[in-house]
Structure 1
Amino acid sequence: MPDDASGAASQEHGAVPAGRAVPGRRPTVTSRVLGILGAFTPERPALTITQLARRAGLPLSTAHRLVGELASWGALERDDAGLYRVGLRLWEVGALARGPALREAAMPFLEDLYEATHENVHLAVLDGLDVVYIERISARDAVHVFSRVGGRWPAHATGVGLAMLAHSDRDLQERAIAGPLRRFTRRTIATGPELRRALAEVRRTGAAVSDGQVETFAMSVGAPVFGPDDAVVAAVAVVVPASGWEARSLVPVVRAGARGISRALGAPRALRPPESAMREV
C-alpha cells in the first residue's frame, strides 16, 4: 500500500483537507490550527514556516503565531535547520484514537500470526470508505509493502477493508458499491457488482482475500474483528507474496487470530463455538 499514494487515495474519495475555510465564512482559530496540522503529509513531514503558511492558506504572521503556540504545547517540533515536524505530544494524543484497548487486545494475536508466517501482519480500522492502519508487524525480508501505521488506503482494494466492509452497515456498503472504485492493477475490484459479490463471499467464508489488487506481487488475507456489541471494529490481515502462498492455507489462522481478538474484546459471537465446530458435532 504505497505511502506516496495514500494522500491521493483520500482525495479520490472526496476528503477535504483539514482546516480548509468554507467560502463566505471567516476561518475560525480551530480551522486555522487544523490547516497547519493538515499541511504535513508522508511526503512532506518537515516544513518551513513559510511552507506551512502557504499550504494552510494563512498570512505569514498568523502562521508564525499559531505555529509558536503549537510548538510550545508540543504538537510541533522545530529542528536545528528551522524545519517543523509533528511533535510527540500530538502522537500521544493520536494514539488514543480507537487505539489502546484494541491494540492491547490484539498484540498477542498479531505476534502469533507473525510467528506463523514471518510476513507482514496488519491491524486496521475503518474510516468512511478508507482503512487506517493502527499496527503493523513485519520482518526485514517480508514481501515489500508500503503500508505504515497511520496510513490509509481505499477499503475495496485491501483484505482488511473488504473484511470490515462486508460486516458494516448496509448504507456504508451501498456507498462503497456505488463508487467510484479506484483501480490500482488489472486485478483491482473496480465495479459495483464485483464489490457486491466480493463482500458476499467474505460473509460466506469469514475471510477476505485481496490478491494482487494493490500490488500484483502481494496477497492479503484478512478477517473482521468484532467488539462487545458484535459490531465490526477492526480487521486483521497477513500480507504475503502472491506466489508461493495459497490463500486457503492462511484463512484458518487469520480467522483464528481475528476471533481471538474479538473474544478478548468481549464480542458475544466470539464466545460461541464457531459454526464449523458446531457442524462437526
Structure 2
Amino acid sequence: MPLPSSPSAQPSATATGEPDQQTAVDKALFLLKSLAEMDGEVGVSELARRTRLTKSTTFRLLGILHRNDLVERVGSNYRLGSQLFDIGVRVYGPNPPLLQECLMPHLADLYEMTHETVHLAVLHDTDIVYVNKIQGHRATRSPSRIGARLPASCTGVGKALLAFDHDAIEAAIADGLAARTEYTCTDPDRFRSELRRIRLDGVAYDRQEAVPGLTCVAVPIMGSAGRPVAAFSVASADHRFEPARFAPALRRVAYEAARAVNAATASRQAAPSRLDNLSAA
C-alpha cells in the first residue's frame, strides 16, 4: 500500500504532529507498511518522519512488533521480521504450507528440464497469486514475483485454474476482462471457448496477454476432488519461445506433483483416525 503523497491524503495531525483518530493498531500497521516500502534497515527517526508519529510512539510500537517477531532489530535500525513471511504463506489457497512442501521439489524439477523461468501459482477470487518462482538465465521483463497478484484471465496459470471453476469464470467475465495488452482476450464468448479447450487438453497459454513480449504455457495441478489446487507455468520472451514444446514436460511434472499433494493430503486427513483407533484400543 503506497504511502499518501500529500498532506491532504493523510490523517489530520495533532499539535504533536502525530495523526489523530488512529488506534495503536492503525499506527503499528502503518509502521509495517512504511518498512515494507523502504529498502534495507531503517532508523526510528526516519520511520517517525515518514509516518508522522512521534519518536516515542514509534519506538514503543516497534518494541511491541519486535517482541512478536514482526520486525527485526539490526543495531539501532529495524526491518520486517520473519514472522510476516510465515503469516503471508498462509494467506492464499487451502493449505499453502502443504503446497510449498509438496510442490517446490517439482517446480525445481521443471526448472531443470527447461532452464526457463517457472512459476507456481494459486487462484484467489478472480486473481492469481504467485506462490513461488525460479528465474531462468534468460529471463525477460515480467510482473511476476512471489506474492504478486494478477488478473487470472490474462495469465497462463490463471486460465489453467479458471477453466475448472465455473463461478470464478463468470466472476472474471463480470469484472470486465480488462485488456492489459493488445493481445488480451476481452470477448466473453471467445474467453469461454478458450477455457473449454483448456478443460479438454489441460494446457493453457498466455501469448503476450499480460505483458508485451512475454509468453508462457501452464498446466493445472489436479487435486483428489477433480479440481486444481495450483498451477505450474514456464515463461520466456515471445521472440524465442515455443511454448507448445514445453507442454509434455509440464504435464509430466504436474502429474507427479498432483500425486504428491494428494498423498500428503490423504495422510494428514487419516492421522486423526489413527489416533482415534489407538484411543479406542
Output the TM-score relative to the length of structure 2.
0.72
- The 1:61–1:199 alpha-carbon spacing in structure 2 relative to 1, beyond 3 Å, is farther
Amino acid at match of 2:65: L
Report the equivalent of 1:88: 82
Shift of 1:197: 2.4
Amino acid at match of 1:208: A
> Matches of residues 71-150 of structure 1 in structure 2 within 5 Å?
71-79=66-74, 82=77, 84-97=78-91, 98-150=95-147
> Matches of residues 210-225 of structure 1 in structure 2 within 5 Å?
210-225=206-221
Distance 2:32 2:227 in 1: 32
| Aligned with residue 48 of structure 2, among 50, 55, 61 | 50
Shift of 1:51: 5.9
Once the two structures are superposed, residues 1-52 of structure 1 have per-residue CA deviations (whole angstroms, 9 ceiling, x without a partner) of xxxxxx79xxxxxxxxxxxxxxxxx8776565445445565x5456743366
Shift of 1:96: 4.5
Shift of 1:242: 1.2
1:118 touches 1:142 (CA, 8 Å); kept in 2? no
- The 1:35–1:161 alpha-carbon spacing in structure 2 relative to 1, beyond 3 Å, is farther
Once the two structures are superposed, residues 214-271 of structure 1 have per-residue CA deviations (whole angstroms, 9 ceiling, x without a partner) of 222211111111223333211110002212332321222212222221111128xxxx
- 2:212 matched to 1:244? no
Report the equivalent of 1:264: 260
1:76 touches 1:86 (CA, 8 Å); kept in 2? yes
- The 1:49–1:238 alpha-carbon spacing in structure 2 relative to 1, beyond 3 Å, is same
Distance 2:128 2:198 in 1: 17
- Which of the pair has more CA radius of gyration? 2
1:211 touches 1:220 (CA, 8 Å); kept in 2? yes
Shift of 1:150: 1.6
Q: Which stretches of structure 1, 4 residues or longer, exceed 6 Å deviation after superposition? A: 58-61
State the number of aligned residues: 238
Distance 2:49 2:155 in 1: 34
Distance 2:228 2:168 in 1: 13
- The 1:124–1:40 alpha-carbon spacing in structure 2 relative to 1, beyond 3 Å, is farther
Structure 1: tracts of 5 or more residues without a match:
1-6, 9-25, 268-281
Output the TM-score relative to the length of structure 1.
0.72
Shift of 1:187: 0.6
Distance 2:261 2:110 in 1: 18
Structure 2: tracts of 5 or more residues without a match:
3-20, 264-281
